[in-house]
Structure 1
Amino acid sequence: MTPPPNGLLVAALRSGSGKTTVTLGLLRALARRGLAVGGAKCGPDYIDPAFHAVASGRASLNLDSWAMPPELMARLATRAGAGADLVVAEGLMGLFDGVPAAPGRSGASADVARALGLPLLLVLDVSGQSQSAAAIVAGVRAYAPDLPLAGVILNRVGSERHTRLVGDAIRALGIDVLGAIPRNPDVVLPERHLGLVQASETSGLDTLLDRMADLVETHVDLDRLIAAARPLVASPPADAATASSIGAIPAPGGRIAVARDAAFTFLYPHLVEGWRAEGAEIAFFSPLADEAPDAACDVCWLPGGYPELHAERLAAASGFLEGLRAFAADRPVHGECGGYMVLGRSLTDASGRTHAMAGLLDVETSFAKRKMHLGYRAVELLADGVLGPTGTRLAGHEFHYATIVDPGRDAPFALAGDAYGTPPQPTGSRRGRVSGSFFHAVARRP
């Protein structure tokens, strides 16, 4: 059996510390050395893995200790490391930030590090402090003595003296400082309301990734960093026949029409890979190019994304809308988040203009009336559908700013609770073979 690759987890104590910049710079710098680097992202995130894939040239997968059963997470980690020389996982928010749950199931990046045996590469934003940074590192070691530290990368250092003051204080703890990256406004990724602007839409992305790699190569000791990685601890991949027993969501059909363009991008790679492993064929189509779902398919899936930014074009895409309605006449159609909005009667954009949508569900949504909805969700299906029979329990999340102006008269899609014990409430809509909700499915729950 081929030994597992070495890996490490890029972590920080808060969002905005520079995890993504360091991760992308590492992936591109190591790939330029000729290494096969597997990327992974902790937690529910659609956008960062796409950047990982461009930086490394390999697909990146999500690893989620709350939404995924441990066996599924281990199987996906094995897949991320298949054929790789090194696995670089990027943490989510702060290292220990999660939700109330059983040990190892909080969704925190620390859970993933423990489950997979990944040492931490701690990124510290040291702007505005010097020796006090050592107290933070000491606190991490005391709070989680079971998590090995591969080392620390100082970010946003101001000068050589600043670097020396911080570095000497941390090294006095017996912890290695693997690099010190200066402030650099030229390596900032553009953002929008759901996070980073998507990789496919970022102008000059390869040039920007090369600048990140140059920065990392100049200011980080890559040889010592590679030496500090440790073997990935994960189970071998399960075959398709046993996938559903460990939480994977079965393919909803043998041939699946999936919308994919700038308006529909939020589809987890592990779902598509799992469906293909079962033998399903994926037929992508672009609603923005006025393409209809392939009539030879037996189910249609509209992922989330940014339809609110393209509402006028979608409303004018008569070929797409008419084809979607014809498809739904005798086959299942499901929409997640943005896809749910497009299945409704209307979508109001940020300027307050209302655009007619497919009308396959009775819901009306608005991006003009914005409110952030964010968090894990545990749902139970109220009817048979593409995600399973009545009573199927799923884990996933919501992240959207759109609101429901009028829920309409359709029956609810599921009952949904959160990770904090809120009583389950009806969510989403279903009418005939058409269903949808703001819920993004990640895995089946036991």
Structure 2
Amino acid sequence: MTARALIIGAPRSGSGKTSVTIGLLRAFQRRGVKVRGIKTGPDYIDPGFHEAATRLPGLNLDSWAMAPDLLRHLAREQAEDADLILIESAMGLFDGIVTEPNRSGAASDLARLFGLPVLLVLDVSGQSQTAAAIACGFMNYDPSVRMASCVLNRAGSERHRKLSGDAIEALGLPVVGTVLRDPTLTLPERHLGLVQASEHPEMDAHIDRLADAMERSLDLDAIFKAAKPFDIPQGSTEKALSPPGQRIALAEDAAFTFLYPHIKRQWRAMGAEIMTFSPLADEAPPADCDICWLPGGYPELHAGRLAAAQNFKAGLKAFSEAKPIHGECGGYMVLGEALEDADGVTHAMTGLLSHATSFAQRKMNLGYRQARLLGTCAIGRVGDAVRGHEFHYARVVDAGTDQPLAMIADGRGVEMGPSGGKRGSVTGTFFHAIARD
């Protein structure tokens, strides 16, 4: 393995590390470096931006949801035939949940596990020399997590850059460049966070602007040199989710956009075939598949079209009479009786489960989840423990009459009660499965 790797971290969300990471990925790709991105934590948006920047598949690595051996296996896969791996931190570098050592979900866990240095991105807007105090804290907070160098972001002027940068370099932390304040470098947002890469009509041009800014502002040679050879011991797929069937019908279009990249990759590596179909194009799942999987996405934005997709709905019902169907998050909403959109209009869904959901009556649900399955389904057998994540604003407004699919606890193990539904061969839940416990 010849790849080098570097973690890109920051004190908090909103520091600009995603824009810096995406710009660096494209800038190195322009140089002919075979560069790949990794996102720490359960954020499913950023791997799509990493893939758009590099034209190579992205990946999530989550130290809470994935056992260390699975992390090693997936990291080694991502590093195969690569020159450089840039690992973007979620939130702040040390932000995670209080749990067993090195299973917090924080990017710092991966820095320790893989022995990788950190490129620290500091948003210096509204401060100057005080940025050095923050950098000093990062340098000394945990001796096992080493800061390699620093990028100043959103500086207002050359004087601002010098005041901040000189104070930081006096600590012995190299500053490898400064990105000046520029609102055009900000990624657009939507109701669930950032727009996905596939939804941005000018995404490639935006990534090129980010790359231009990084090439002007940062010392790419110094950043490449700061990366450490990615020498990782062999891992294991023992805790990976097994393919739910030999041939998997996977809904994939603007309403069904999200399945963790590592899951699809592992299913294929384990010999499964994935056959995609589009409910928005009124396509039914291929009848010769063994199972149908409806992933997360934005069905609330397309509820009218889904309600009118009679061929899809009839085909899904026919499929359910002989074979299993599973829906996660948005897929779970579509399996219910009804979905109320943001305007308060209620649309009839497939009715294969009896619950109803609403995006008009919003309630944010966000966090790690531990699921103990009450019935066998696509993500495991009855009694299995599965780790994953939940992030949605829609809520169940009618629980229906189906049997619950799982008992759910949060990331610290605090019980939250039953989740999802199971009726015959049809199952669904708001919970996104990531790996076996």
Confirm or deny a common fold (TM above 0.5): yes
Please, which of 424, 430, 433 is the counterpart of residue 432 of structure 1? 424
Distance 1:232 1:173 in 2: 27
Tell me if the contact between 2:71 and 2:235 (Cα under 8 Å) persists in the aligned partners. no
Equivalent in the alignment of 1:9: 7
Equivalent in the alignment of 1:330: 322
Amino acid at match of 1:84: A
Tell me if the contact between 2:112 and 2:145 (Cα under 8 Å) persists in the aligned partners. yes
Please, which of 342, 346, 354 is the counterpart of residue 362 of structure 1? 354
Equivalent in the alignment of 1:220: 218
Structure 1 residue 232: Cα displacement: 1.7
Tell me if the contact between 1:258 and 1:282 (Cα under 8 Å) persists in the aligned partners. yes
Partner SS, residue 166 of structure 2 = helix
Alignment of 1:155-234 (within 5 A): 155-234=153-232
Structure 1 residue 424: Cα displacement: 4.4
Partner SS, residue 433 of structure 2 = strand
Please, which of 106, 109, 116 is the counterpart of residue 108 of structure 1? 106
Alignment of 1:26-425 (within 5 A): 26-236=24-234, 238=236, 243=237, 245=238, 247-425=239-417
Distance 1:254 1:220 in 2: 47
Structure 1 residue 4: Cα displacement: 4.0
Structure 1 residue 233: Cα displacement: 3.8
Partner SS, residue 296 of structure 1 = coil
Structure 1 residue 115: Cα displacement: 1.0
Tell me if the contact between 1:300 and 1:332 (Cα under 8 Å) persists in the aligned partners. yes
Gaps of 5+ in 2: none
Tell me if the contact between 2:336 and 2:351 (Cα under 8 Å) persists in the aligned partners. yes
Tell me if the contact between 1:115 and 1:233 (Cα under 8 Å) persists in the aligned partners. no
Tell me if the contact between 2:40 and 2:90 (Cα under 8 Å) persists in the aligned partners. yes
Tell me if the contact between 2:370 and 2:413 (Cα under 8 Å) persists in the aligned partners. no
Structure 1 residue 352: Cα displacement: 0.2
Amino acid at match of 2:350: A
Distance 1:159 1:237 in 2: 47
> TM-score, normalised on structure 2?
0.99
Tell me if the contact between 1:8 and 1:120 (Cα under 8 Å) persists in the aligned partners. yes
Partner SS, residue 75 of structure 2 = helix
- 1:317-347 CA-to-partner distances (Å, cap 9, x unmatched) read 1111111111011100000000000000000
Distance 1:254 1:178 in 2: 49
> TM-score, normalised on structure 1?
0.97
Partner SS, residue 215 of structure 1 = helix
Tell me if the contact between 2:293 and 2:327 (Cα under 8 Å) persists in the aligned partners. yes
Partner SS, residue 350 of structure 2 = coil
RMSD between aligned residues: 0.9
Distance 2:148 2:257 in 1: 34
Q: Paired residues, what number?
A: 437
Structure 1 residue 237: Cα displacement: 5.3
Aligned structure 1 segments of 4 or more residues deviating by more than 6 angstroms: none
Distance 1:136 1:267 in 2: 36
Amino acid at match of 2:13: S
Distance 1:211 1:387 in 2: 41
Of all paired residues, the percent bearing the same amino acid is 58
Amino acid at match of 1:342: V
Distance 1:98 1:299 in 2: 35
Distance 1:332 1:274 in 2: 20
Distance 1:67 1:311 in 2: 31
> After the TM superposition, which of the residue ranges 195-204 and 229-238 deviates more from structure 2?
229-238
Distance 2:194 2:151 in 1: 23
Alignment of 1:20-31 (within 5 A): 20-31=18-29
